[in-house]
Structure 1
């Protein structure tokens, strides 16, 4: 079997609520979902989720190759763009092709991907994470009541701009999850919006009122020493790594002791997650994938690694035109038996009926505030 080509398409995910973080939000709740479909000379196709960045430059590393050689092909893609670097957006294209390759490999083997990767259990523990920065208190309660109904015992809120508001919102969510456990795990994600001393002051104040499980992305992703100093100054664990594009970017962070919980962005693909997990495991650190809504296939990899802690569950729905072989129950994700990654695509429906509202619009959460980390007094709003 040989890889002969690929095609792309876009669908959308309708979250049915505003979604965002401290950097901004998308009021419509409709976000763009790029898909990549790898073609072979035997008609078997692999579906990848992630990004369309630099696919044309990466594909020559795959063309004519046996798709089952996933690790070799992953490294070939990295080597293909070594002069300009595989970092940043290009790494998203690598991730999309990589997930399509793993889907192909599992389909050829006639097994669900979680089984092919070596998992013994189809259940993946998860935590609730609604990208909820723009929700009112009533909307927040409605959303996390749905998580509580499905057995979730832990939740991550977006915040970091207003201590009183964060405490109030943690109270709402904690009360809902208390139906399932006496002591819910509560986490805060501030999306790289602080400097070091802001982080120490804010978390120290927060910890006077709640037992915070982890603080996520408190500082800029490359600040290895800052993360280590923060971890030593607070009780909560420091969780970071989702925006690091390549295993080599984790080295200074881990060498400095800057991550207590090692995260990997699901959008960067399965092979990346597996390698990050092994690296973290070698240091006795847990790993957690972030953003499974953007790449469902990494859930199968989470089931297969020995140090998986919990996976981010952002929404119970599926992108338009996709059928995902999974369920949400008992505080996690239950993977199905469909061969491959468990994704079925209705291309005709997507091509004829779907209009995308792009996630990376100017007001969205992927645009960093020019005053992030530079505020003496924070009014807790996006407009600055």
Structure 2
């Protein structure tokens, strides 16, 4: 089997609610979903969802290759962009092609990806995450109530600016998940918006009232020393790593004991997640994939590693024109039996309904706030330039 070509598709996800974090929101609740389909000389195609950045530059590393050599082809893609570097958005393109390769490999074997990767159980424990900073309290409660109906016992709030509001809203999440657990797990995601002492004060204040399971991305992603100091100053675990583009970027966090829950962004692909998971496992640390809505393939990888803790479930639907062979029950993801990653694409429908719905807008969550980490008060208003 040889890789002969590729083509791209772009669809959209309608979340049915505004989505975002402390850095910004997408008020329409509609976001783009890029895809890449790898083609082979045997008529089998592999689907990768996540990012199509740099695909044209990366594809020569795969052209004419046997797609079943996934790990070697992953390294071949890294080597192909050696001079410019594989960090940032380019890593997203690598991750999408990597997901397509794993889909191809499992389809060629006639197995679901989770079984090909060595998992014994198709169930992936998860936690609910509403990308919910723009939701009012009533809508927040409704979202977590719907997740509780599917057995979820843990929830993550987007916050970090208003401590009183965050405490109140964490309480709402706890109440809605309460039918499934007397003490639901509660997490707060600050999306790299604080400096160290802000983080200590903010989390310590929450811990006077609530049992916080983890604080996520409290500081800049590379601040190993800061994360280590924070972890030793609070009771909650420190979770970070989702925006690190490459295993080598975790070294300082590991070496300084700066991370308690090791995260990997699902958008960066299956091989990256597997390598991060085993590196964490060698240090007796749990791993948690973030944003499985952006790349469902990583749920299969999560089922296969020994140290998976819980996976972020942000939405119960699927992007337009895409079906995924999985369902949500008992507080997690139940993977199906279709060969590959279980993705079915309706290309004609997608091509007939194209919408412009970018994540990256001036006031969206992918654009860092200009004074993040430089405020005396977490809820200090953002000043307009003068």
Using the TM superposition, give the Cα deviation of residue 64 of structure 1 relative to its aligned residue in structure 2, in angstroms.
Answer: 0.3
| Residue pair 2:198, 2:378 contacting (<8 A) in 1 also | no
Q: Which residue of 1 aligns with 2:84?
A: 84
Using the TM superposition, give the Cα deviation of residue 354 of structure 1 relative to its aligned residue in structure 2, in angstroms.
Answer: 2.5
| Residue pair 1:22, 1:382 contacting (<8 A) in 2 also | no
1:308-348 CA-to-partner distances (Å, cap 9, x unmatched) read 00000000000000010000010000000000000000011
Q: Which residue of 2 aligns with 1:61?
A: 61
1:221 counterpart SS class: coil
| Residue pair 2:194, 2:378 contacting (<8 A) in 1 also | no
| Residue pair 1:106, 1:339 contacting (<8 A) in 2 also | yes
1:323-379 CA-to-partner distances (Å, cap 9, x unmatched) read 100000100000000000000000110011131311111111000001101112343
Is 1:284 equivalent to 2:284 in the alignment? yes
Aligned mates of 1:30, 1:283 — CA distance in 2: 39
User: Which runs of structure 1 show a deviation greater than 2 angstroms over 4 or more consecutive aligned residues?
Assistant: 377-384
1:249-283 CA-to-partner distances (Å, cap 9, x unmatched) read 00011101110000000000000000000000000
TM (normalized to structure 1)?
A: 0.99
| Residue pair 1:320, 1:354 contacting (<8 A) in 2 also | no
Equivalent residues in 2 for 1:18-97 (5 A)? 18-97=18-97
Using the TM superposition, give the Cα deviation of residue 34 of structure 1 relative to its aligned residue in structure 2, in angstroms.
Answer: 0.5
Is 1:199 equivalent to 2:202 in the alignment? no
Q: Which residue of 2 aligns with 1:10?
A: 10
1:67-124 CA-to-partner distances (Å, cap 9, x unmatched) read 0000010000000001110000000000000000000000000000000000000000
Q: Which residue of 2 aligns with 1:98?
A: 98
Q: Which residue of 2 aligns with 1:325?
A: 325
Using the TM superposition, give the Cα deviation of residue 381 of structure 1 relative to its aligned residue in structure 2, in angstroms.
Answer: 6.4
Using the TM superposition, give the Cα deviation of residue 380 of structure 1 relative to its aligned residue in structure 2, in angstroms.
Answer: 6.7
Aligned mates of 2:362, 2:295 — CA distance in 1: 23
How has the CA–CA distance of structure 1 residues 101 and 383 changed in structure 2, closer, same or farther, with 3 Å as cutoff?
farther
1:183-205 CA-to-partner distances (Å, cap 9, x unmatched) read 10000000000000000010011
Is 1:116 equivalent to 2:116 in the alignment? yes
TM (normalized to structure 2)?
A: 0.98
Aligned mates of 1:63, 1:143 — CA distance in 2: 44
Aligned mates of 1:370, 1:380 — CA distance in 2: 12
Q: Which residue of 1 aligns with 2:158?
A: 158
Q: Which residue of 2 aligns with 1:304?
A: 304
Q: Which runs of 5+ in 2 are unaligned?
A: none
